[in-house]
Amino acid sequence: MAFFQSPPELGNTYDDDPLLQSFLARELPAEVLTEIQPELREMGELSGGELYRLKLADRLEEPVFTPFDPWGNRIDHIALTPLWERAKRLAAEKGLVATAYERRHGRFSRLHQLALVHLFEPSSDVYSCPLAMTDGAARTLLSSGNAALVVHAVPRLTSRDPAHMWTSGQWMTERTGGSDVGLSETVAKRDGDVWRLHGTKWFTSAASSEMTLTLARPEGNGPGGAGLALFYLETRDAAGRPNALTVNRLKDKLGTRKLPTGEIDLQGTLALPVAGLDGGVRAITPLLNVTRLWNSVAAVAGMRRAAMLARSYAARRVAFGGPLSGKPLHEETLRDVEAVTAGAFLLTFRVAALLGKSEANEIGEDEALLLRVLTPLAKLLTARQAVAVASEVLESFGGAGYVEDTGLPVLLRDAQVLPIWEGTTNVLSLDLLRALSGKDL
């Protein structure tokens, strides 16, 4: 009888995560934990069960971009994968954005929300990306003081009704660059009461979002970041037609392949200023703080998933007379992975706790500084760790870690976006120095 290796398996990823459990037990009042634990357990069940199986079955599906219909009409249709369709419904129903804004548990609401995200993320095929931007957009609109947009869009972004909920994009990067956003070439022209944008956005995560925040330079403004304004736009009009924009193509990326990242041409796209006609870079800062924290959560969640799979496999794989988990060197490798993961988790959820306090207006001055400093620090650190851990875990599977249908290589491919998106290590290092020097506070 020929030998066949049994694959790694996942159980309920909440029940199997003592670190998460002990952290929450320490941080949350008992009654809060009691109240939210069923949600966490349910999400752990989904993530280790149905969603994980769907992710494996869905492996070869990718979003399909159709620029034209059969009769020549420009439609720029993007069909999402089955898992993304499922994740979209779940994200609304489970309140993966809403929880932070409903604030049922006051300053603990960010811990509540991001614990759910931590469980959801690694079985979601990076659906966390549009959610991060949606969260960031809601925070930014609320911070902007633009009452009309707050009333119009925030209820959509924070809805629990899949039919009503919107996700938001975040279109900043142009061909001139993502880090030095001051080089942006997009121009905003006044057209009566509204504005029309002209330019090309070079990386638009979630080209399928219903709205987006973006930067453009109102005609007549000076060069550099100071002359940019923050704009709000909806990607389609009420009839579903593109808002004077075309998707040139979807990016052919190393990872996050279920996420339709587009290159988008703005050809007179109708848009509204969010917070005045300049200072856009400053106005979008709340978004970046939120998305960078999500980036850290995604890094931690990915490491945790990789560690769980490696641990499961080590118990099932036999070599030299026993399971790998009994080999000292292999055991040391796994413990290294787990230790790095634990450190990253604790740092990231410290930032989450601080953000929750800040949003509940219960933060002191020192903690506010700490939040400011730890946000980029956690992002840059955990992102790099996520790549290293993914590579290490792939190696721990031997050849199986290099073969796509095991579902393992995607761990590395998806991780590599983390040190790039929303600020590379060097860019964030400079931001950190700026924060420490007190220059931008």
Site for a copy of itself in 120-149 (CB under 8 A): none
Q: Which of 29, 68, 161, 164 binds a copy of itself (CB under 8 A)?
A: 68
Minimal distance in Å, beta carbon 269 to a copy of itself?
Answer: 16
Assess contact for 342 and 350: CB atoms under 8 A.
no
Minimal distance in Å, beta carbon 339 to a copy of itself?
Answer: 17
Stretch that binds a copy of itself, among 121-129, 136-144, 350-358, 417-425 (CB under 8 A): 417-425
Assess contact for 77 and 250: CB atoms under 8 A.
no
Tokens of 74: 């420009």
Stretch that binds a copy of itself, among 38-46, 92-100, 137-145, 414-422 (CB under 8 A): 414-422
> Helices in 3-65 by DSSP H: which ranges?
18-27, 30-48, 50-57
Q: Which of 12, 81, 140, 173 binds a copy of itself (CB under 8 A)?
A: 173
Q: Which of 157, 387, 393, 435 binds a copy of itself (CB under 8 A)?
A: 387
Query: Does 251 interact with a copy of itself (rule: CB under 8 A)?
Result: yes
Q: Which of 22, 25, 34, 69 binds a copy of itself (CB under 8 A)?
A: 69
Query: Does 413 interact with a copy of itself (rule: CB under 8 A)?
Result: yes
Tell me if residue 115 falls in helix, strand or coil: helix
What is each CA distance from 97 to 21, 39, 268, 352, in whole angstroms? 21, 14, 31, 14
User: Which run of H or of E encompasses 278?
Assistant: none
Minimal distance in Å, beta carbon 250 to a copy of itself?
Answer: 11
Query: Does 223 interact with a copy of itself (rule: CB under 8 A)?
Result: no
Minimal distance in Å, beta carbon 123 to a copy of itself?
Answer: 17
Tokens of 33: 């934990």
Query: Does 2 interact with a copy of itself (rule: CB under 8 A)?
Result: yes
Query: Does 203 interact with a copy of itself (rule: CB under 8 A)?
Result: yes
Query: Does 436 interact with a copy of itself (rule: CB under 8 A)?
Result: no
Phi-psi region of 34 (alpha: psi -120 to 50; beta: other; left: phi over 0): alpha
Q: Which of 25, 64, 194, 346 binds a copy of itself (CB under 8 A)?
A: 64
Query: Does 426 interact with a copy of itself (rule: CB under 8 A)?
Result: yes
User: What angle do helix axes 18-27 and 328-359 make, rounded to 10 degrees?
Assistant: 30
What distance in Å separates the CA atoms of residue 71 and residue 76, rounded to the nearest whole number?
Answer: 13
Residues ≥6 apart with Cβ < 8 Å to 34:
none
Stretch that binds a copy of itself, among 11-19, 64-72, 207-215, 276-284 (CB under 8 A): 64-72
Q: Which of 18, 30, 38, 70 binds a copy of itself (CB under 8 A)?
A: 70
Minimal distance in Å, beta carbon 193 to a copy of itself?
Answer: 25
What distance in Å separates the CA atoms of residue 182 and residue 176, rounded to the nearest whole number?
Answer: 9
302-321: contacts with a copy of itself (CB under 8 A) = 317, 319-320
User: Within a 10 A sphere around the Cβ of 57, how many other Cβ atoms?
Assistant: 12
User: Which run of H or of E encompasses 323?
Assistant: strand 322-323
Minimal distance in Å, beta carbon 180 to a copy of itself?
Answer: 4
Minimal distance in Å, beta carbon 287 to a copy of itself?
Answer: 18
321-340: contacts with a copy of itself (CB under 8 A) = 327, 329-330, 333
Half-sphere exposure of 384 (CA within 13 A, CB side): 11
What distance in Å separates the CA atoms of residue 279 and residue 283, rounded to the nearest whole number?
Answer: 6
Stretch that binds a copy of itself, among 30-38, 100-108, 151-159, 244-252 (CB under 8 A): 244-252
What distance in Å separates the CA atoms of residue 358 and residue 365, rounded to the nearest whole number?
Answer: 10
Which residue, 213, 115, 203, 121, is CA-closest to 166?
213
Q: Which of 162, 395, 436, 440 binds a copy of itself (CB under 8 A)?
A: 395
Minimal distance in Å, beta carbon 336 to a copy of itself?
Answer: 12
Query: Does 403 interact with a copy of itself (rule: CB under 8 A)?
Result: yes
User: Which run of H or of E encompasses 169?
Assistant: strand 168-171
Amino acid at residue number 83 = L
